[in-house]
C-alpha cells in the first residue's frame, strides 16, 4: 500500500472513533431521559457507510463491503445502533491493522508526559516505540520523524530540568 494510502486510512480513524463515541453518548443521554432520544440510526448508518466507502476506495478491499449497512425502518434505533457500532469497531480495527497501529483494546503504558513507549498485551509488556517510528517514517517521511524525535527529546530534557529545579 502506498504511503498516501496509509495517510488516507489514518485520517479515517478520528472520524470513525468520534462517530462511535457520539453514538454511545447519545445512548447514555437517552437513558438519562428515560429512553427518549432523537432517532439517529439512519444518520449514523449514512455516516458509517461514508467512512466505510472511503476505506473501500482507498484499499479496494472487498471485505469492507461486508461492513456496509442498510438504512433501517427501526423507529427507536434499538436494532440499528448496535450494528452501526459493530461496523465502526470492525472498520477501526481493520484500519489499525493495515497501518500497524496497536489496537485501542490493548493497554498502552504511558509515562507522565503522555509519551507512549510500551504496550501491555496479554500480560507481556513490549517496547513499541520502534514500530511507531517505523510507521511514522513510512507515512510522514524520514526527515519529519527525525525532527519530531529530536524536538520531543529536547522537550523531555526541559521538563526534567523544570522538575529538578
Q: Which three cell numbers stand for residue 116?
A: 507512549
- pLDDT by residue (tens digit) across 83-126? 999 999 999 999 998 888 766 544 444 444 444 444 444 455 55
Q: Which three cell numbers stand for residue 70?
A: 442498510
User: Tell me, what's the pLDDT at 24?
Assistant: 87
- 131 burial level (CB within 10 Å; 0-12, 13-18, 19+): middle
Domain ranges for the chain: 3-101, 108-164
pLDDT-derived band of residue 40, with 50, 70 and 90 as boundaries? Answer: confident
**Closest by alpha carbon to 36, among 80, 85, 77, 84?**
77
- pLDDT by residue (tens digit) across 45-89? 999 999 999 999 999 999 999 999 988 787 777 788 889 999 999
Amino acid at each position: 500500500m502506498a504511503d498516501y494510502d496509509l495517510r488516507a486510512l489514518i485520517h479515517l480513524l478520528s472520524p470513525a472513533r468520534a462517530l462511535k463515541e457520539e453514538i454511545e453518548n447519545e445512548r447514555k443521554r437517552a437513558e438519562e431521559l428515560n429512553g427518549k432520544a432523537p432517532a439517529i440510526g439512519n444518520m449514523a448508518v449514512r455516516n458509517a457507510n461514508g467512512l466505510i466507502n472511503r476505506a473501500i476506495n482507498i484499499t479496494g478491499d472487498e471485505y469492507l463491503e461486508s461492513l456496509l449497512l442498510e438504512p433501517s425502518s427501526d423507529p427507536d434505533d434499538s436494532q440499528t445502533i448496535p450494528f452501526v457500532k459493530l461496523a465502526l469497531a470492525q472498520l477501526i480495527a481493520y484500519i489499525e491493522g493495515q497501518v500497524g497501529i496497536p489496537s485501542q483494546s490493548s493497554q498502552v503504558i504511558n509515562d507522565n508526559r503522555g509519551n507512549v513507549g510500551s504496550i501491555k498485551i496479554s500480560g507481556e509488556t513490549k517496547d513499541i516505540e520502534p514500530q511507531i517510528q517505523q510507521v511514522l517514517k513510512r507515512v510522514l517521511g524520514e526527515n519529519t520523524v527525525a525532527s519530531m524525535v529530536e524536538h520531543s527529546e529536547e522537550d523531555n530534557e526541559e521538563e526534567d530540568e523544570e522538575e529538578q529545579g
